[in-house]
Amino acid sequence: MWISERVLNIRPSGVRKIFDLAKRVKDPIDLSIGEPDFDIPEPIKNEGITWIKAGFNKYTPSGGIPELREKVLYHLKQKGIKCEDVIITAGVTGGLLLALMVIINPGDEVIIPDPYFVLYEYQVLLLGGKPVFVDTYPDFRIREDRLRDAITDKTKIILINSPNNPTGKVTSKEELEIIVKVAKEKNILIFSDDIYDRFVYDKEKERIYTGSLYEHVLTFGGFSKTWGMTGWRLGYCAGPKNIIEYMVTMQQYVFSSVNSFAQKAAIVALDFNMDHMINAYRKKRDLIYEGLKDKYNVVKPEGAYFIFPEAPHGDGDAFVEKALQKNLFIIPGSVFSNKKTNFRISFASTEENLIKGIEILRKLA
């Protein structure tokens, strides 16, 4: 048989089953999609088009064009993030893969708070590492005793995602200080996936970046969520210079380089204010939370555009199938967790769809 053991150990995403079921439903109310429901703003699109027409369509340097690298680094330092260098990547997905390739040896362990974004587990496994999950239920907070219990002499990385997909939880300053304290004690590197960093809804909540508290942090971000550039596949990773240099070398052999015209457009995007869109998503967050809180056990999301209620009777898989029978398409929590008690709703949709979805969910409760 020609298929590698590496691939044979990777099971298909649990999303596939639910998508197959959804195909049988005619015009479902779709609250499953994990991407913005708005288009790239016109000035950013036009900047990309300008550079396409100007012939900027060739390979770019493996680390990204210098002017974008410099601008990303400047913006991160303005947020207080400690970083020496930056690489432009094929989305956060591409950045995480490169970083794990540079850091992970077979058998090394990566600590991942549960619930988590699905690709974390499988990228670690593909590279021969071991994902170690830290339970954050029921309120999705990171607790010091659980974190310490997960650490062994093989722990290499703690991976943080804030705001979190699928829960919408923003990691508090107190939690980050715990993580950094433990990382310093054990000489552990922190990966901080900040792709939803601008989607923080409660102004009274102080936004603290992991990279502002500890120098041994790789900060991941990108342009897909804030500016709707999902199909342009553009992200970045910033951190210690020696790690970034190795990532640039690996990019030469994995991706070669990333989208040319999108990098030019991203320079404009970094200065393009999206507060109006964030405010619109705050209203959608409030709409979905207020519509469900008296019927479901649910933690109010503080960021991103997801909410993660507990399913009636604690079986998210069965509940999602029941919701599909009522024409509502949502994702089972088991896709993002070792537990199957919850389900994920994306409120990156129209207000009309959200109201219809809330009505169905209230009936199902």
Spatial distance between the Cα atoms of 144 and 136, rounded to a whole number of angstroms: 11
pLDDT at 26: 77
Residue written as tokens 């792709």?
195
pLDDT of residue 34: 84
In this predicted structure, what is the pLDDT of residue 6? 81
Rounded CA gap, 326 and 363, in Å? Answer: 10
Cα-Cα end-to-end distance for the chain: 48
Where does CATH 3.40.640.10 sit in the chain? 42-269
CATH 3.90.1150.10 residue ranges for the chain: 5-40+274-364
Q: Which pLDDT value is given to residue 153?
A: 97
Reading the chain (365 residues) residue by residue, the pLDDT tens digits are 688 888 887 776 666 666 676 677 778 899 998 889 999 999 999 999 999 999 999 999 999 999 999 999 999 999 999 999 999 999 999 999 999 999 999 999 999 999 999 999 999 999 999 999 999 999 999 999 999 999 999 999 999 999 999 999 999 999 999 999 999 999 999 999 999 999 999 876 667 899 999 999 999 999 999 999 999 999 999 999 999 999 999 999 999 999 999 999 999 999 999 999 999 999 999 999 999 999 999 999 999 999 999 999 999 999 999 999 999 999 999 999 999 999 999 999 999 999 999 999 999 99
**What pLDDT shows up at residue 273?**
96
CB 252 within 8 A of CB 62: yes
Write down the pTM of the prediction: 0.94
Task: Say how many C-beta atoms besides its own lie within 10 A of residue 313's C-beta.
Answer: 9
Entry field: residues in the chain: 365
Residue with tokens 């380089």: 257
b/e string for 65-102 if b means 16 or more Cβ within 10 A?
beebbebbbebbeebebbbebbbbbbbbbbbbbbbbbb
CATH number of 42-269: 3.40.640.10
Can you tell me the distance from the alpha carbon of 209 to that of 77, in angstroms, rounded to the nearest whole number?
Answer: 11
Q: Distance of alpha carbon 329 from its chain centroid, rounded? A: 21
**Domain range 5-40+274-364, CATH architecture:** Alpha-Beta Complex (3.90)
Q: How far apart are CA 213 and CA 162, in angstroms?
A: 15
